[in-house]
């Protein structure tokens, strides 16, 4: 499973489908992204692109959705603007970072060495005086070995951070992208500046997921999905289909 650019993912030949994973308040972006990648892989994906983190908030009393994109650093576009949707006016709000001292639990991973006791079979030479022969006799013993592994968890800490106000309101912790890069891509990842747009009540094309991680997944045999019939992609089928137990939606244009 690799997080990459849209161009590299499309070159794989796999058809894309959209995966959206909802989450609540007080979440750590690092764990959200790692879990998102694991879900995509479990559903049969090979590549992921166009990953977005969307938080529901409000601006001057009006509901808005603020989103950032997780992109390979070389593909970051400067001066990115919101794409317009027919019939809806979208406004890019000016976001000003705010510095605060907070007490929170940060998701961290570190390499640790831990002892592990296992049963081991070895062979011992045994001499038989009567036959004047030597034979190997199996023996069992318990041995302790030290193994290296990644240990991840939440660490409470008091610190001063600079974020956007809408992130503070949801008690959301932005991801540490070096941890995601280490596991899922050869690229250096960067999170774009947020863009916020008015959010109307749920419609047919507006999912009931206030906070969510979403992205395009390339992989999974959609033509074999039980709900898809002979369709070769979700977009061609025109509605959600099932892929290894996951509901897939057509990718956003």
Q: DSSP state, 85?
A: B
Residue 222 in 3-state DSSP?
A: helix
Digit-coded pLDDT (tens) for 83-115: 444 444 445 555 678 899 999 888 888 788 888
- CB distance 188 to 180 below 8 Å: no
What is the Cα 16 distance to its own chain's centre? 16
**pLDDT category, 234, cuts 50, 70, 90?**
very low
The residue that leads in pLDDT, 226 or 153, is 153
The partner residues of 147 in beta bridges, in order of sequence, read 114
| Largest Cα span, the chain | 98
Q: Tokens 């081991």 label which residue? A: 120
In the chain, the percentage of residues whose pLDDT exceeds 70 is 74
Q: What is the pTM of this model?
A: 0.67
Residues 31-70: pLDDT tens digits? 999 999 999 999 989 999 999 999 998 877 888 899 999 9
Mean pLDDT of 224-242: 36
Supply the DSSP symbol for 33.
H
Of 166 and 227, the one with more pLDDT: 166
211-216-221-226 Cα dihedral, nearest 10 degrees: 40
> What does the mean pLDDT of the chain come to?
78
């Amino acid at each position: 499973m690799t997080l990459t650019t849209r161009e590299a993912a499309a070159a794989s030949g796999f058809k894309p489908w959209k995966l959206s994973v909802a989450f609540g308040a007080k979440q750590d972006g690092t764990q959200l992204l790692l879990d998102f990648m694991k879900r995509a892989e479990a559903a049969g994906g090979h590549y992921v692109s166009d990953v977005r983190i969307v938080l529901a908030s409000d601006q001057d009393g009006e509901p808005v959705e603020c989103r950032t994109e997780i992109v390979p650093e070389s593909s970051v576009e400067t001066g990115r603007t919101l794409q317009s949707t027919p019939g809806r006016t979208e406004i890019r709000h000016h976001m000003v970072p705010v510095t605060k001292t907070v007490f929170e639990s940060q998701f961290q991973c570190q390499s640790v060495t831990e002892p592990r006791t296992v049963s081991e079979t070895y062979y011992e030479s045994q001499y038989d005086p009567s036959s004047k022969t030597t034979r190997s006799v199996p023996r069992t013993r318990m041995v302790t070995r030290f193994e290296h592994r990644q240990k991840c968890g939440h660490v409470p800490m008091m610190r001063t951070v600079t974020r956007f106000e809408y992130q503070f309101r949801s008690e959301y912790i932005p991801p540490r992208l070096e941890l995601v890069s280490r596991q899922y891509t050869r690229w250096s990842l960067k999170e774009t500046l947020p863009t916020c747009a008015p959010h109307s009540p749920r419609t047919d094309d507006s999912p009931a997921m206030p906070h969510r991680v979403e992205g395009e997944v390339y992989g999974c045999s959609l033509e074999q999905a039980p709900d898809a019939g002979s369709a070769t992609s979700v977009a061609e089928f025109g509605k959600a289909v099932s892929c290894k137990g996951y509901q897939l939606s057509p990718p956003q244009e």
